[in-house]
Amino acid sequence: MSSAIALVVLAIFLVAVIVWVGLISYNLGLIRRNQRILTRGMTDNTLQEILAQHFVRVDGLEDRIAQAEQNIDVLHNIQLDAVQRIGLVRYDAFSDMGGELSFALALLNEHGDGIVVSTIIGRADNRTYAKQVRGGRAMIQPSAEETAAINQAMGGR
């Protein structure tokens, strides 16, 4: 009877060892998979060397991100001064001329600064005028068409 108990205990121990070996094999597989991910594209270096290479890469990426953020700030400031608002009003300057060949063109930045250009087309001659605009207002008394072009560029503001 004692040999039967010893055999049962041995069988239980053997099952426990097999389960334990299975768990160790599974965990070893996970470790190897993670190691392959970590060492992707690397030569046969020690883990310390691999981590050092990763830290160098991360530092380089941080520098590149900081430079990209600076570039974004510069581009944002440039963009604020770029022409973003355009208004065009075409009209007949003279009753004997058709086709709305005369026009007023407002070219403004985000702040409403820029110019308004008017061209008056006549039978004998053409005239072009340019006026500075600050904050959505012409610095020299604008014509009705110039005011309409500025208002259109400002989005009706």
- State yes or no: pLDDT of 106 exceeds 90: yes
Q: Which residues, listed in sequence order, are joined to residue 121 by a DSSP beta bridge?
A: 126
- State yes or no: pLDDT of 157 exceeds 60: no
Residues 6+ apart with CB under 8 A from 136: 108, 112, 150, 154, 157
Query: How do residues 31-71 score in pLDDT, each as one tens digit?
Result: 888 877 777 766 666 777 777 888 888 888 999 999 999 99
Q: Global pTM?
A: 0.58
- State yes or no: pLDDT of 134 exceeds 70: yes
CB 134 within 8 A of CB 113: yes
* DSSP 8-state class, residue 146: H
CA angle 100, 106, 111 (to 5 degrees): 160
Domain segments of the chain as ranges:
85-153
Sheet holding 137-138: strands in order across? Answer: 85-91, 102-108, 114-121, 126-134, 137-138
Higher per-residue confidence, 1 vs 27: 27
**Rounded-to-integer distance, Cα 156 and Cα 151, Å:** 5
